[in-house]
Structure 1
């Protein structure tokens, strides 16, 4: 049985919009401006980024922008039919961070959904999986075997980044025994409080990073919590980063900095290194001395809009170039590609 990493829903007074998201507003406006300023010659498509959300579908009425999808659920319903509450909330979280992302909504069955996300229109750039199931080595399920094989292939392809949520089931349910979060190469996300501390359920679990997932306001103005929300935010942040790199690549055709950054970011080590550069405090501080706890990601410290004085387009592009340099420094490039960056 799969769990979503979604804790109990709490009715309360609606708090202010999540500060973590609000602090990215100016940067999102900046990168959208640059994306729209790219001269289009009709030969190259505009920069884009695709995020696949493997969940219970999504309600199209609650989503803006471009999205498409498919359903592999046994009931044969379309990906947008039915309540689709959890998947819709995950899609909204991704778009909260990266409004320009193209969403690929895939309704589970596990292995068929993942294969569709990888194959459809050259595949997704980022895959968000905010659910888990228990791995049972002594009692194999062919579909789950196929799913885990596909995850391994996806990680090895260096074309897609996969995020998985911790199950939020307390210390007796070890996350490493659950899929997809326990699989190698899947970036493991835990929910944090607004202050950046790990939530109680995951104090004794290993995670790569902490992102906000506690007291999130959903579409029904309810307070909800869970690592599933944190994972969708992580997927949205990865998409925003990839989109930024592609915008810079389109702006600086003769400069390899963005192309190299994209190659780095499409590897688990590379994306984790980028997230590390967005996380000023160590996991030990966030976890109260527990070295298993990942770092709390605070992207607004690096992803900043330029000051108003930098009004010229070339100055704005230079500002973005500096951001990319900070996210993907030379030491990270060497760590990902010790023998040098391979040719495309």
Structure 2
């Protein structure tokens, strides 16, 4: 399958300077007060963006001097000045969605890239996602297509409500589709980060971090001014390897996709990247300077298992202290 750039809806953002930011939270509802999920929200001047969850809630960092632009299929775009407010509630009116280029969403996406005469290889889901009842596990982040957006290396946002996304863990490919039949993979040299949201409202943020792995994207568990915590998620296919001598047996009689996880903590101030294990001793060693805060965090959280959620919550806790 050819790698192609996602020519969906590039939204030009300022990438010259890193603006001062504040965290803005709020909700997005229709005119009847019904929460709107999967609404795309972006900073009008920078590549800061997010989507609403199932309850129409959102929270992300923006430039306090910018506007928040909300877009979703079936509703008119809304642009609200931030004006240093930390809470912004958005009400959207039904109508034709418009974006920065002023064109309706239905015509703003370039469809020329999908024409066979341009030599673009198209892979169908029916071929790409092979159904095998004897296969255990999955090479994909989700068995269902998800909403999302991406950020290019020029800090342009790439998004369209017409498209759905998934992530191939074996190839570290961001996959996208319009009709859930023709599937494309984004060019890794073009996309530096992306966010996908599943139907349950769970967010998955990925970044290209060459210091961790130049060939794979890394999942961002926590991000702040002090620490960034990453999970390198890879996956490999283990073929059936069942053997028996009639008395003892070993292995499996089925093929299986097996995930492999490695964790890293990036100290923003010292610019030091260190691997860390999901073990108390390892975490305390890497974060030795935060011993008192980790002790206080553990006291608040009791006997929580040390897993992805623990590492994410710990990172958020330390970044907010």
Please indicate the TM-score interval, normalised by the length of the shorter structure.
under 0.3
TM-score w.r.t. the length of structure 1 is 0.24
The structure with the largest strand share of the pair is 2
TM-score w.r.t. the length of structure 2 is 0.25
Structure with greater Cα Rg: 2
Query: Which one scores higher on RCO, CA 8 angstroms, separation ≥ 6?
Result: 1
